[in-house]
Amino acid sequence: MLDLFYAAHTCSLATHIVLEEVGADYKTTRIDFGSAQQRSPEYLKINPKGRVPALVTDQGILTETPAMLVFVAQSFPKQDLALMADPFAFAEVQAFNSYLCSHLHIAHAHRMRGHRWVDADDTHSIATMQRKVPESVGGAFDHVEAALLKGPWVMGERYTICDAYLFTLAQWLEADGVIPARIPKVIDHRRRMSERATVKKAIAEELA
């Protein structure tokens, strides 16, 4: 059985949604950020990075959302959620998820995790990073809106792992100071995703 280590309101939701989409036999283990459980010796044995998500499989432990999404999709090929039969389409899936992971999510993290880049007591630099977030995150969503979101789903007519990932990060855009009206396609995608039974179930489990 797969075991997803997660925390509410984090990118772990993307993998949680996909586990539901494929009908996987899995369980979840909540990590409490409030008590810094992600830095506990017990959890660091699972993920030495001290972050979520982590996915425990029969073959070992996976971290990093793009890798976990592809693993789940490939483990349940019937749904074809990563378009792996088409090398170019699969590369596009990987390119999109890599952009979310390496650019959009990092820009978002500057709002509350400035200590990753400067000393925690450097309040001026941290405040400067926070002021930049609406511009940097907004710009990333502008690029998704204009160039990457093909519609109706990220990859066009086919629902893929990209949709779960985009939806997860789009949960945070208002808090990041992004005006929804500037990205109507992303907002419509978020609305349609929120109506899927699998998405509702994953969210409910994480917030229970």
pLDDT tens track for 51-97: 999 999 999 999 999 999 999 999 999 999 999 999 999 999 999 99
Burial bucket for residue 191 (CB in 10 Å: 0-12, 13-18, 19+): exposed
The reported pLDDT for the residue numbered 18 is: 98
Digit-coded pLDDT (tens) for 137-152:
999 999 999 999 999 9
Give the separation between CA 58 and CA 87, rounded to whole angstroms. Answer: 27
Rg (alpha carbons) of the chain, rounded to whole number: 17
pLDDT tens by residue, 154-182? 999 999 999 999 999 999 999 999 999 99
The mean pLDDT value of the chain amounts to 97
Q: Which domains does the chain have, with CATH numbers?
A: 2-79+201-207 (3.40.30.10), 87-196 (1.20.1050.10)
Q: What is the pLDDT of residue 187?
A: 98
Question: Which string of b and e fits 150-169 if b means at least 16 CB within 10 Å?
Answer: eeebbbeebbbbbbbbbbbb
Q: Phi, psi at residue 51, to the nearest 5°?
A: -135, 165
What confidence score (pLDDT) does residue 208 get? 87
Predicted TM-score (pTM) of the model is 0.97
Residue 103 has pLDDT above 90, yes or no: yes
